[in-house]
Amino acid sequence: MRFTDTLAAVVLAFGLLLPGCASGSGSWVELKGERFAVEIADDDQERAQGLMFREHLGDGRGMLFIHEREEPRSYWMKNTRIPLDILYFDGERRLVAQQREVPPCPDGTACPSYPSRAPARYVLELDAGEALRMELRNGERITFGPDIARP
């Protein structure tokens, strides 16, 4: 095999591997064997901003909210333009409550809140319909990727 043939084979191999590496980078969570790329909201400012003013979330994407303490939570959809599933997890990363198909509240007024009804430390927001599609039940466990800080 000539050097140019070898070089071409190496370049092709890296070209085939790079898309897999790129999709595997960044923060992720797994739920019922499905992986979601997530943005992390782990301080007051990021949690307050959440998914406000977004036009779409994207397939296989979500936002993970990390709180310092496990306690009853309540989220609302102020200035949110996309319907979401809001999934509440306790400190052991077990699903303790679900608010499915939560409608947007794009004008930011008279937005109802959606409580956890159980103490939660982590909240995962996904596109509306994901919880139904995956047939999520309370008690399911979420797995965090290695870059998500553990308490």
The domain made up of 27-144 is a member of CATH 2.60.120.1140: yes
Decide if pLDDT at 149 tops 90.
no
Stretch 66-84: mean pLDDT: 96
Task: Tell me the per-residue pLDDT of 77-111, one tens digit each, with 9 for 90 and over.
Answer: 999 999 999 999 999 999 999 999 999 999 888 99
Cα separation, 71 vs 73, in Å, equals: 6
Please tell me the pTM assigned to this model: 0.82
Total length of the chain = 151
Q: Quick check: helix, strand or coil at residue 79?
A: coil
Domain residues of the chain, as ranges? 27-144
Cα separation, 30 vs 126, in Å, equals: 12
